[in-house]
Amino acid sequence: MNVSFRLLRFDPQRDAAAHWESYEVELEPTDRVLDGLEAIKGKVDGTLGLRRSCAHGICGSDAMVINGRNRLACKVLVKNVKQPVTIEPMRGFKVLKDFIVDMEGFFAKVRSIQPYLVEKSAAPEKERLQSPKERERFDDTTKCILCGACTTSCPSFWSNPDYVGPAAIVQAHRFLFDSRDEGKEERLKTLNAQEGVWRCRTIFNCVEACPRGINVTRAIAEVKQAILRGKVK
Ligand code: SF4
Ligand code: F3S
Ligand code: FES
């Protein structure tokens, strides 16, 4: 099938402003939007800028706005989207080139909440045990692939880029609710700060945007409750 695309292009070395360009490529109906972009880059215009790695919905590197919604290009079949397929970079991040955005600030926020298990007590002789029920408690947030689709769909983040954002809170949730973690106090303090969880106004765009189906808003609510109670449970 012939598939038409409208791409919002921007190369800071060449363009004064972003502008739309149209393309048409032949694809199989079962091809993904990512295949379409790679066909354009490979056969029509090699200057197109995009990120991808796994091509299977795991690495989180090809999040972009497809027909107005944040999606992973490798998870959307061309037969399931209206043509022309419009593609824009994620909103709220600086565009480096075409669909490649600057994610340095995003990852700095994730690092700020200590996205790892903190150990304070002496290591046990064997492993730190955890029951299946305790593991289940944070299962949903382990699915995050740090694609940024939630944070860049959030109006609170658009209006205040200093807001730590839903992705960092999801990462915090994954460790806060892990029974083996001993860094809860510092993490809750970071999230209770001015640009922390209270910037979330429960707008729910993040849930809609998440390609992993994580209930982002519920995770944020649980972190807010933990701050109010002064403990995680
Ligand atoms: Fe992406 Fe979902 Fe993780 Fe947000 S919570 S970064 S949308 S996988
Ligand atoms: Fe934003 Fe999601 Fe909260 S869209 S305001 S982080 S519920
Ligand atoms: Fe890895 Fe799409 S290329 S998630």
Predicted local distance difference test score (pLDDT) of residue 166:
98
Interval 107-142: pLDDT, tens: 999 999 999 999 999 989 999 999 999 999 999 999
**Per-residue pLDDT at 51 exceeds 80:** yes
- Evaluate: CB of 223 within 6 angstroms of ligand 1: no
- Evaluate: CB of 204 within 6 angstroms of ligand 2: yes
Predicted local distance difference test score (pLDDT) of residue 41:
98
At 32 the three-state DSSP class reads strand
> Three-class SS string for 151-219?
HHHCHHHHHCCCCCCHHHHHHHHHHHCCCCCCCHHHHHHHHCCCCCHHHCCCCCHHHHHCCCCCCHHHH
**Per-residue pLDDT at 32 exceeds 80:** yes
Domains and CATH numbers, the chain: 2-101 (3.10.20.30), 104-231 (1.10.1060.10)
Closest CA relative to residue 78, chosen from 7, 5, 9, 21:
5
Pocket test for ligand 3, best of 32, 41, 52 (most atoms within 8 A of CB): 52
Mean pLDDT to the nearest integer, 4-13: 97
User: Distance from the CA of 158 to the center of ligand 1, in angstroms?
Assistant: 16
Predicted local distance difference test score (pLDDT) of residue 231:
78
User: Distance from the CA of 43 to the center of ligand 1, in angstroms?
Assistant: 32
Average pLDDT over the chain reads: 97
Beta bridge partners of 5: 23, 85
Pocket test for ligand 1, best of 170, 171, 174, 200 (most atoms within 8 A of CB): 170
Interval 65-91: pLDDT, tens: 999 999 999 999 999 999 999 999 999
**Per-residue pLDDT at 230 exceeds 90:** no
Interval 200-210: pLDDT, tens: 999 999 999 99
Cα Rg of the chain, angstroms: 20
Mean pLDDT to the nearest integer, 28-48: 97
